[in-house]
Structure 1
Amino acid sequence: MQQTGVPGHKSQPMDELLSEGFASHVNDLLRTWHVPGLSIAVFNKQSTRTAAFGHARLDHPVPATLDTVYDMASTSKSFTAAAIGKLVADDDHHPNVAWTAKMSVLLPDDFVLPDAYATQHTTVEDILSHLTGMPGHDLSYMSIRAAQPDTAQSVTQSLRHLPMNAPLRTAYQYNNMMYTVATHLVETLTEQSFASFLHKNFFRPLGMTSTFLQPSAVYATGEAYSSRLAHRHVWKPATQSYLTLPIPVEQPEGQGAGSIQSSVVDFAKWGQALLRRDTNILPEKIYDDLFTPRIILDPESTVDEREPFTSYELYCLGLSVRFYRGHRIIEHDGSITGVQSLLCFLPEDDFGMVICGNGDNAAIIAHILAMQLFDDVLSIPEPGRVDWGRRAVEVTERGAREAAEEGAESKGDADARYNATDWPLSAFTGMFVHPGYKTIIIDIVPSSRKSSDEGDQEQEKLHIDALDRSEPFEAFFEGLRDVRDDEEAEKWEVEKGNAVICTADIVDDGGEVLSVWAVFDFRGKGISEGEGERARRVGIALCVSKGNMLIWFDRGKR
């Protein structure tokens, strides 16, 4: 454990971070939840205390420290919203930029949605509060590993090809792409890179010398900084070991939604600026705008489903708000495979924290610690406190049960391990194209390549290699069966007897598996290509947050 700090006037929780009891508690949590390392900073308006536990890297063990640099993932969104706020406040240079300004006016050539009304009326505020009516299409854009990588501009231009599933401003749908669109707006209007804008307006004024946009910027500073980058880790229960993902994710096509690399020491400086509403960084009015709720995240949740003594959660601009025992919490978390982060603060109680960990369950630990420290700040008596550790176990176990039930239901009538169709696997292979999701190639691989723990009865499976995506994945198709039911044919908008339905196991870079529906359409007796016939198109539920919404790829030519 490494600790440092300067005493603050909220002495109890500030000092708690330096106690042996706290260190023992955190180390127990790291073992319980299988997270290699964790760094934490707690702060008030004047001072900060920090501590670190465990390891930043496991291959050649490196301790986690106060200066370990983590991928902050979606906690970066608070900077993106603030960057737009900087333009909103600058009437001299950007008089046309306002929260209510139309995106199609600010970016007339690039910002086009598939719906004309939404195109004309979507505002800056809408894209930052996830109210555009477009779900997250995170698997649609291409990384720097692709033959044609995406950029902030190309991500913006691709919106016109991606399906919406709700009218403008009628539903909260988390959308990372819109935050990248926001950075394209910043770059277009200021004629500088988003990284340069952040350094000039935020990182340098706040003294955030260990904060960068993209891992490549960390490496460019030399070994003194790059050696501090935390590796990402995923715990594999089957082998009781960690899968190490050593390279932080380089995602210029995802800037604004994430990609800031920082330490808890540095990110606490940003937290303090938000807490004290630092007018050297942003005008007072912009802080009001950033902290104002726009939409309820969980309107259908019941009291029992929400956390004890906690209100609905509301999304603002790059931050969310909830109330705990009547006290306002402003926060945002972040997560990519193998690393997670949390920024949260109690503005009326002058207390906040930044927590980063390099494991897939780090967010659970961060939440446990945050709520326990909030209870300390609010002087909640012991008999009335929630056992946040036990509650985390209960919530996790319930989530696992529900996921298992949903997975079993998604398998449908057929056993997912064998096929029930007369079509040969070759009828499903080839190149398929979608204007927004680009190109996929379906090939045939041995079953042994499937990255799951289930047994296999087939010798071969249909497969997609999409490891060049911004969120890399592979897909393995299972349980192919003919569509013979009128109701099922109507549901998927295919012809009975001329389509095949199956599940596609989406396997991410950490080996996690998500089963989704896929439908192969042979309408019109397929397309002749050499011998036999092949599927005309394939629909896959790649917009994974929206269940059965298929993305239809048409057969193309290599």
Structure 2
Amino acid sequence: MRSHHVPGLSLAIVHKGKTASAGWGKASLDPPKPCTPDTLFDIASCSKSLAAASVALLIDDDENYPEVQWDAIMSELLPDDFVMAGVGYTENVTVDDILSHRTGMPRNLRNLTVAAPLRSKYMYNNLIYTVVSHLVEIKTKKTFRDFLEENFFAPLGMGSTSLQPAEARKRGLGDRIGTGGAGLVVSSAKDMIKWVKILLHCEGPPITGRIFQGLVRLRTITEPTWRKAKPHTTPAIYASGLEVHTYWGQRVVSHDGSGFGFSGRFFLLPDLGFGAVILGNVEGTEDVQNIVTKELIDELLGVPAQERLYLRDFTKKKKSPKSAKAEKSLRPPPQAQKKPEESLDGDASKALALRANSRPISAGGKEMKPEGPKKPPSEPQTAPLNTHTGTYWHPGYHTLTVAIREGKLLIDAHDRSFGFTIRFEHLGFRKHLKSYMHTFP
């Protein structure tokens, strides 16, 4: 945690029906609060398993929802709402396609062009999962929040879990929130391990063996080239709100989630009755999660210390005291460092959000570096910045306002479900424009 600058970490494990949990570090630095197994985190994309399981419950209920099936055409289930650009997509995208990220759509729906043929490529998509919750609401005539509460949170005794941070505060749990950001589900390690436990044992309700097999059926290879092969590990295959791979020959079912100020993972080994939840309050927690995950499994399997590659490789990468001291000497003294809240006028939390979300993102969710001229533009910027300011409109992104912040052109689009920031840099004039056009769809 010290090496990766993770202030707080919460861990819960289950093994053969027994659970244990612990917390380390701080949930909050100001005011200082300890991180415990009850600390609340925004679990981000870890909640996709709950969304997929919600649909699986409808599929399993043949009496009330016979039309809802894995291979059902989504536009037939939602004839007034589900529309995609391109020929053949609206007419053919199924429930399974959406849950396994193979619709060919990287971000939005109706008014943005598709980026790949249907079922040809894994393209992780947050927004398209909102179609899933909408389907549940339309078919059950209940809010998605009420459906989760009635079918998962209440039956499993997940009393600290709720939809959206505002709901957690409404229930008097605000003092236990240890993260920033606003995602779908707020929970704790102690609560989430109950979800892992029901997935492990499938004793129902809500999860039966048939439902679990539907959720973990292999659907989409996430990285066909397998460029980042890891020792003793097979490529991940996306199922339905869950990923599946093997490690040391054991099937591992999991999902990660991260955002501004939080990062989480849960995983389970169905054949060994073991699972865990790891939650942290910075995005850098992923490295710690990777090490802890492999160490837990290695310990469970009795892997000899000399063969535990992940912790050993991490130790090798640590800087020597001499290099760490030299690097530290190059840093400015604490009083000379600019505080994040001073970087923009107004709301400090908004400034932090803008910084965290200012990287351009590709269709696959990775950071994308613009292509184009490698050298600085030869033409100076002559037109005043206010030449470009104003309000613009796009059918997919709707209203976008270009303003001037810190001497740069900026779009602050945090007023929507998945907020983002665009910062503009001067590149040149017409002769440079063509090489950059394809970078920004």
The bucket for the TM-score relative to the shorter chain is: 0.7 to 0.9
Aligned length: 394
Q: Is the 8 A contact 1:44 1:275 kept in 2?
A: no
Matches of 2:430 and 2:316, distance apart in 1: 41
Measured after TM superposition, the shift of residue 407 of structure 1 is 7.8
1:206 matches 2:166: no
- Match of 1:278? 203
CA contact (8 A) 1:414 1:481 kept: no
| Cα distance in 2 for residues equivalent to 1:374 and 1:313 | 17
Greater strand share, structure number: 1
Shift of 1:422: 5.2
TM-score calculated relative to the size of structure 1: 0.67
In the alignment, the residues of structure 2 paired with residue 549 and residue 409 of structure 1 have an alpha-carbon distance, to the nearest angstrom, of: 6
Instruction: Tell me, yes or no, if the aligned pair for 1:39 and 1:51 is still in contact at 8 Å.
Output: yes
- Give the match for residue 29 of structure 2: 58
Q: Give, as a single letter, the amino acid of the residue that structure 2 aligns with 1:287.
A: F
2:440 corresponds in structure 1 to: 550
2:381·2:426 contact (CA, 8 Å) conserved in 1?
no
The answer to whether the 8 Å contact 1:88/1:99 transfers is: yes
Q: Which residue of 2 aligns with 1:16?
A: none
Aligned to 2:282: 359
Q: Following the alignment from structure 1 to structure 2, what is the Cα–Cα distance between the partners of residues 338 and 109? A: 37
Please name the residue that 1:197 is paired with.
Answer: 147
Which portions of structure 1, spanning 4 or more consecutive aligned residues, are displaced by more than 6 angstroms? 406-409
Q: Deviation per CA, 1:505-547, whole angstroms, max 9, x where unpaired?
A: xxxxxxxxxxxx5x5xxxxxxxxxxxxxxxxxxxxxxxxxxxx
CA deviations over 1:340-378 (Å, ceiling 9, x no partner) = 100001111211100101012112111110100100111
Aligned mate of 2:236, from 313, 319, 332: 313
Partner of 2:72: 101
Distance 1:389 1:439, change over 3 A: farther
Is the CA contact 2:370–2:439 (under 8 Å) kept in the aligned structure 1?
A: no
What residue number does 1:379 align with? Answer: 302
Aligned equivalents of 2:417, 2:70: Cα separation in 1 = 29
- Cα deviations across residues 264-314 of structure 1 (Å, max 9, x unaligned)? 111000000001112321332111110111011111124xx2111111110
Whether 1:43 and 2:14 are equivalent positions in the alignment is yes
CA–CA separation in structure 1 for the residues paired with 2:389 and 2:422: 13
| Residue number in structure 2 paired with 1:188 | 138
Residue 85 (structure 2) aligns with = 114
Matches within 5 A, 1:106-505: 106-137=77-108, 159-222=109-172, 225-232=173-180, 248-249=181-182, 258-302=183-227, 305-388=228-311, 390-391=313-314, 410=371, 412-415=373-376, 420=380, 423-445=383-405, 449=406, 460-484=407-431, 489=434
Letter matched to residue 483 of structure 1: R
Q: Matched residues in 2 for 1:176 and 1:289: separation?
A: 21
Contact kept in structure 2, 1:162 and 1:436, CA below 8 Å? yes
Between the aligned residues of both structures, percent identity stands at: 40
User: 2 CA distance for matches of 1:413 and 1:312?
Assistant: 34
In 2, the alpha carbon distance for the partners of 1:422 and 1:35 equals 44
Deviation at 1:216, TM superposition (A): 1.3
Q: Secondary structure at the match of 2:148?
A: helix
Letter aligned with residue 330 of structure 1: V
| Conserved 8 A contact 1:45-1:275 | no
- Paired with 2:279 and 2:26, the residues of 1 have a C-alpha distance of 12
Residues 12 and 22, structure 2, Cα contact 8 Å, conserved in 1? yes
SS at match of 1:266: helix
Q: Do the aligned partners of 2:102 and 2:122 also contact (CA within 8 Å) in 1? A: yes
Aligned residues of 2:198 and 2:207 also touching (Cα < 8 A): no
Q: 1:358 to 1:392 in 2, by over 3 A?
A: farther
Aligned residue identity for 1:51:
A
Structure 1 counterpart of 2:157, which letter? G
**Greater Cα radius of gyration, structure 1 or 2:** 1
Please give the alpha-carbon distance, in whole angstroms, between the structure 2 residues aligned to 1:103 and 1:429: 40
Q: Equivalent residue for 1:146?
A: none
DSSP 3-state at the match of 2:309: coil
Q: For the residues of structure 1 that align with 2:200 and 2:167, how far apart are their CA atoms? A: 28
Counterpart Cα distance in 1 of 2:226 and 2:283 = 25
The one-letter code of the counterpart of 2:373 is G
What secondary structure, in the 3-state scheme, does the structure 1 residue paired with 2:176 have? coil
| Deviation string, structure 1 residues 57-84 (Cα, Å, up to 9, x no partner) | 1111010112111111100000000000
Change (3 A) 1:474 1:115: closer
Distance 1:160 1:422 in 2: 38
Structure 1 unmatched runs, 5+: 1-29, 138-158, 233-247, 250-257, 396-402, 450-459, 492-516, 520-547, 552-558
